[in-house]
Structure 1
Amino acid sequence: MDERAGRLLLRAYHAAGYAALPLVPAFLGWRTRRGKEDPLRRGERFGRPSLARPRGRLVWIHAASVGETNAVMPLVARIVDEGVGVLFTTVTLTGAKTAMGKLPKGAFHQYAPLDIGACIDRFLDNWRPDLALFVESELWPATMGRLVRAKIPQVLVNARLSERSFARWEKLGETARLLFGPVTLCLAQSEADGARYHRLGVEKVTVTGNLKFDVPPPFADPRTVAAFEPLLAGRDVWVAASTHEGEEEVIAAAHRVLRHRRRGLLTIIVPRHPGRGPEVAAALAARGFAVALRSRDEPIRPETDIYLADTLGELGLFYRLAPIAFLGGSLVPHGGQNPIEPVRLDTAILHGPHVHNFAEVYAALDRTGRAETVRNSEGLATVLDALFSDPTAMRRRATKAAEALAAFSGALDATMRALLPYLRPIAIASGLDAHRGGGG
């Protein structure tokens, strides 16, 4: 595809967005009914603000959902410490809830505008950011083009691009280069990610590492931990974290096999999407399991087989209660969930074969024997039985996992060093605005 064809394709994309505008309210209404949009803040998706713009200069940081939000929060704090305000956007409700619970003073949340020119223009006209940072692989053609037109530098932070996504972009030929060429800077998670972005047209690429390695362990209220501990005393407990559809059946089958060998076994399942909780609980109960649902405050009883923790932001609690964690999204071809949080809490790690989202991390853990791959319910039950039978080996595996990941830290400092040439002028200008009484 040559440049002329590439420009025509981009124009067609923009035109399709405008043509779809009359249908967007119905689409957002459908998403609202499914619990995927905030009905009170739907205007933000059209670029209409629900907050007054603060005085001073702003950096716009966009992250899709919970994982990206957690990863970038320490960076948000560093940027605010430089004297720059942060407008933080997400797409999902769960991402918004996570952000609003963690954003430091000097940062605030809005939902991201739809990738339609009119919505983005309204958003940019109101907030007037001086710099835009996009986390991981949040790549939206209309948004990228509007930033170029507004002469707002755009930086890809903690950037990753899978082989599959790269192949899709590469097929677009010159269209991809027209989009990626104007990107100011790409701060990539790995050499492979950086090489893919460079091949798509980004000229300035720096490998800074994965910010998720520098995130502190997830929080858990010590009082809640203490309240749970007596309920679990004397029981073998493990957690299946961030599970996806199709995985709970495998986990439940492993529990069925294992409970005959290990009386009192308790399996904690934390679905990746908490809204699936009642549906999963009903399916497991129909198979004869005694299930307690956290969202309904159902207690853990001696006869409880499975505790379904269908709440948001509590993985820190369950990683502290269970010495073994199976990381979901890996028995199905989703790509695996982030293993760094449980590793930081000295939890032994199990996972399925589909871990391409964190391939380098899992490779380091597997290579050193700190984590183990399971492929089905029988394999999962066998490994769990072996670990429960040898608590010393289980603890040794958990502590060694933290050592295996030590070499990956330092991404936060590297990212800040790369961003400072862009942030310092904004901070200086913001200070001058405050001195003059302007910038509002």
Structure 2
Amino acid sequence: MLRVLYSLLWVVILPLALLRLVWRGRKEPGYVRNIGERLGAYGHLPAQGPWLWVHAVSVGETRAAQPLVEALLAAYPTHRLLLTHMTPTGRQTGAQLFGKEPRVLQCYLPYDLPWLVRRFLRYFRPAAGMLMETEVWPNVVHGARRAGVPLFLVNARLSPRSFRRTARFGRAASAMYADFAGVLAQTSGDAERFQALGLEAVQITGNLKFDMQPAPAGIERGHRLRQAFGGRAVLAAASTREGEEPFLLDALSRWPQLCGDTPRPALLLVPRHPQRFDEVAAMAERAGFSVQRRSAMDVDKLAAPITADIVLGDSMGEMAMYFAASDLAFVGGSLLPLGGQNLIESCAVGTPVLVGPHTFNFAQATEDAIAAGACRRVANAEELMQAAARLLADATALAEMRAHARTFAGVHRGATVRTLAALAPALGA
């Protein structure tokens, strides 16, 4: 009954959802492209498979899916891979990662209405499906079971907060998760919370993000970018979210009062959402900082030193370069109660991390990084600048954190192999 009510609600909000696409498309044209796919229209795409289906909603999930996608292509050479998304930035990231792979096809997953889901499943007839991390759509999950498509929740995480919200639905939540062929959890805590919902088919396979290997070319370009800052230290503020930048800019403007004689570093500011690039650039300029945009640079031909107070990272798919160009990184989404963002990519290139108090979406990875000496937690933007000043003034401590970061990223690898082994029975291997 709850699923019926949920579907009726979708009927009501579908026109609003389409209007929202048009509204967002004013600033980000990708939202108004391929709208038909969101309504289950795929006739312009090849249907011939057999297909293995991976759903990665946006940028973070698409990057996390990279080692899994590559492993599936290698392990199942007679299959093609269908990579679905919900956001244009996720689709763009997938194109950057797999655009030259002829066996990968990208499209949008339809809105979660039963008949749209049936169109999708009937058109592609995937041999199996994998939803990344937290993407649980009731009609998609139920429709896959009815269509005989084994569906897995992969790299799955369920924070205590999300568990409490989900548990309120009681048997309905348990029934929805029971439609999965399996849940492959990141951590023991995630697995325990899924099991508390009544699931039995839960395995702990680890976090695929540890298996993401930064592209050597990106790291090399990061080192070139770092050299262009000359003798200045570089602090990255990566994946910042709306509401965080004012606190960061205010604290940076008060650096002398907060941090004494330690020279103020250059700030490499990378907002998480591309539609906010212009807004954040204007905000920094209003705060009195000189700003240089990555989009106005040719990193391969930097003729003059970078003298701007802030370099705005207004590009997609270059996070490894930004981390490699930095001495220290703050990972955003954590100053405000937004749950934090992925710190593993920074550690993988050997850049130590600072985070704020709110990291519930990446709780285990963050606590493990802190315990390993790769990360430190701060309470607010002022403490962030003070902690950065102390580390940037202490070469020995910074070098130790850099080594701990690389070690932390390395010892947790192997989730891809464990995930592939868990999927093998359903995939016929």
Return the TM-score normalized by structure 2.
0.91
Match of 2:244 among 243, 247, 270: 247
1:267 alignment counterpart: 267
Structure 1 residue ranges without an equivalent (≥5): 1-7, 426-440
1:41-94 deviations in Å (ceiling 9; x for gaps): 111111111643253311111011111111111111111122221111011111
Once the two structures are aligned, what percentage of the paired residues are identical? 36
Structure 1 segment 26-425 matched on structure 2, within 5 A: 26-35=19-28, 37-49=30-42, 51-81=44-74, 82-83=76-77, 84-103=79-98, 104-218=101-215, 220-221=217-218, 224-225=221-222, 227-258=224-255, 261-263=261-263, 265-297=265-297, 303-424=307-428
Report the CA distance shift for 1:40/1:395 in structure 2 as closer, same or farther (over 3 A).
same
| DSSP 3-state at the match of 1:206 | strand
Which protein shows a greater Rg?
1
Query: What is the root-mean-square deviation of aligned Cα atoms in Å?
Result: 2.3
Q: Distance in 2 between matches of 1:208 and 1:98?
A: 24
| Residues 1:10 and 2:7 aligned together | no
2:50–2:126 CA contact under 8 A, matched in 1: yes
Q: What residue is the counterpart of 1:428 in the other structure? A: none
Distance 1:153 1:118 in 2: 19
Shift in Å at residue 211 of structure 1? 0.7
Which secondary structure state, in structure 2, belongs to the residue aligned with residue 38 of structure 1? helix
Q: Which residue does 1:433 correspond to in 2? A: none
Alpha-carbon distance between aligned partners in 1 of 2:220 and 2:190, rounded to the nearest angstrom: 42
Q: How many residues align?
A: 418
C-alpha distance in structure 2 between counterparts of 1:160 and 1:222, whole Å: 29
Separation of aligned partners in 1, 2:371 and 2:14: 50
Please say which of residues 367-376 and 213-222 is displaced more in the overlay. 213-222
Structure 1, 342-351 or 257-266: larger mean CA deviation: 257-266
Q: Distance in 2 between matches of 1:51 and 1:278?
A: 34
**CA distance in 1 between partners of 2:366 and 2:114 (Å):** 40
TM (normalized to structure 1)?
A: 0.88
Change in 2 beyond 3 A, CA 1:240/1:226: closer
| 2:374–2:404 CA contact under 8 A, matched in 1 | yes
Offset, 1:405: 4.0
